Amino acid sequence: MSDLAWWQRGVIYQVYPRSFQDENGDGVGDLAGITARLHYLRALGVDAIWISPVYPSPMVDFGYDVADYCAIAPVFGTLGDFDRLVVHAHELGLKVLLDFVPNHSSDKHPWFMDSRSSRDNPKRDWYLWRDPAPDGGPPNNWLSRMGGSAWEKDTVTGQYYYHAFLREQPDLNWRNADVRTAMDRVLRFWLDRGVDGFRVDVLWLLIKDALFRDNPPNPQFKAGEPDHHRQLQTYTEDQPEVHDIVRSMRATLDEYGERVLIGEIYLPVPQLVSYYGPNGDGTNMPFNFQLINAPWNATEIARIVSEYDHALPLHAWPNWVLGNHDNRRVASRIGPRQARVAAMLLLTLRGTPTLYYGDEIAMADGVIPPDRVQDPAELRQPGIGQGRDPERTPMQWDGSPNAGFSSGVPWLPISGGDGINVVHQDGKASSMLTFYRCLLALRRSERALVEGAMERVVSSGNVHTYERRLGGDRLFIALNMAGADAPVEAPEGTLLLSTTEGHEGKRIEGPSLLLAGDEGIVIRASKPT
């Protein structure tokens, strides 16, 4: 695998820093806590950690409202703590990726405070300012992704500024050359500190329509959906000029050697793959979120896998994401038994997998009492299920009241669950943690799972099957995506791993076998076909 970059060979693990490990007892996770748990991650078998925002911030949106792009929020530690984390991670062979949030800043960022101070301030054009409509209202009909109008009137200057999210998160004007230069300096600041790459927040939103035209109505809008779904985002996302910005970011990272640029992009596959760039000069990986939102059945999963693999440009490297800080946990979406099947799917598909902290122990969504709700997405749009607190609850390290996360009061309630913690599962052959370790070890040991082609992607009833092939090496994967036993045509060979503990090394005679309900298997075929 020497011809592949580390991010093609490796597995990425997302750390939500507020919830991973609290070392100073204030109830909020910190950089020292992440550093203290790096040995756990190395032993788990991942290759890189992606750390959600740790910049200074009023924390209106928990770090996605950045007040200083080149510093560390005191709640998480110091730049020295960050440097120590990077050094220790590299000593253990782990890469470190940072969240980069270029679409918007905090309204407390000095850039915005200058921008709003007067209409002729040199930084006025760093943000999106418009005169009121003739009736004195917002300049157009654009809606915020947090509910209501995306325009906020400034009483000092009499103009409106645009915010795709909260009013405390004004959008930067990426058509302004000075903004691009300033953000390039931000990338270089962290690259010079040893960062191995970035996950770029809401990359597809960076450029807005130059004429500020109204978005058309969405004829398929359904009651109960987020407010901004009332419109098609024709003029507020995926504008052609965004690709120039992506190429510029990629060029900066390429100056530093083998770095990785990952884009958060929620778009249909034909649009998504355009972010690789026509010559492979875009993002190294536009995040592929299809497994998060897919109906969980064999027919749909086989269709998604096949269509995505065929849609990729020849120069593109695929990737798959099973969970993140913005979506329900996989164990809650499809149940703990199918979560094992999903893990096998994620780690045997072609491309780079990204894991979400706690999924390796089958953490489920937490129950958040109304008086403990933190997420502004829920506080500002109550009752439509947009709150993200349940999937952000603290990592469960042991069975103590605070789960080994903190000596103080955790910022969110502990999710709980019998045996859902690292200490309980460590060393137990049947545990989810052991299963993840085995899956990750299998992926490291089998070149076909990293370099091999995807072949024979099919579904039959509730069973999804496919093969990974590299030269004469042929691995067959079968996933039963329902609870009832199901027959499957399988090649002769050796069972390498099953979601059901204790069958590894078993001889498979073929041409058929009975797959147990909720079972997934990986077989090394004896004969190529």
Residues with Cβ within 8 Å of 81's Cβ and at least 6 positions away in sequence, in order, are: 30, 31, 32, 35, 72
Structure-block tokens of residue 188 = 């270089």
212: region left, alpha or beta (phi > 0 left; psi from -120 to 50 alpha):
left
One-letter identity of residue 357: Y
Q: 201, 238, 264, 446: which one is catalytic?
A: 201
- Which pLDDT tens digit goes with each residue over 61-91? 999 999 999 999 999 999 999 999 999 999 9
pTM across the whole model: 0.96
Distance CA 249, CA 176 (A): 15
25: region left, alpha or beta (phi > 0 left; psi from -120 to 50 alpha):
left
Q: What is the mean pLDDT of the chain?
A: 96
Give bridge partners of residue 97 from the DSSP assignment: 50, 197
Q: 178, 214, 244, 255: which one is catalytic?
A: 255
Measured CA distances, 426 to 398, 421, 437 (Å) = 10, 9, 10
Distance CA 425, CA 482 (A): 25
Domains of the chain (ranges; CATH) run: 6-104+177-439 (3.20.20.80), 453-525 (2.60.40.1180)
pLDDT at res. 529:
60
Q: Any catalytic annotation for residue 255?
A: yes
pLDDT at res. 503:
65
Confidence band for 56, pLDDT divided at 50, 70 and 90: very high
Structure-block tokens of residue 296 = 């969980």
pLDDT at res. 282:
98
pLDDT at residue 332 is higher than 70: yes
Distance CA 119, CA 117 (A): 7
Q: What 3-state DSSP class applies to 21? A: coil
- Which pLDDT tens digit goes with each residue over 3-32? 899 999 999 999 999 999 999 999 999 999
Structure-block tokens of residue 451 = 């370099």
Q: Any catalytic annotation for residue 201?
A: yes
- Which pLDDT tens digit goes with each residue over 468-507? 999 999 999 999 999 999 999 999 999 999 998 766 778 8
Closest CA to 390 of 371, 407, 374, 409: 374
Q: What torsion, rounded to 10 degrees, do the Cα atoms 275, 280, 284, 288 define?
A: 40
Least confident of 149-158, 220-229, 271-280, 465-474: 220-229
Give bridge partners of residue 497 from the DSSP assignment: 522
Alpha carbon 4 to chain centroid distance?
A: 22
For residue 511, whether the previous peptide bond is cis, meaning omega lies within 30 degrees of 0, is yes
User: Cβ distance 446 to 438 under 8 Å?
Assistant: no
pLDDT at res. 528:
63
What mean pLDDT comes out for the span 117-125? 98
Question: Of residues 101 and 502, which shows the higher confidence score?
Answer: 101
Confidence band for 273, pLDDT divided at 50, 70 and 90: very high
- Which pLDDT tens digit goes with each residue over 345-365? 999 999 999 999 999 999 999
Confidence band for 422, pLDDT divided at 50, 70 and 90: very high
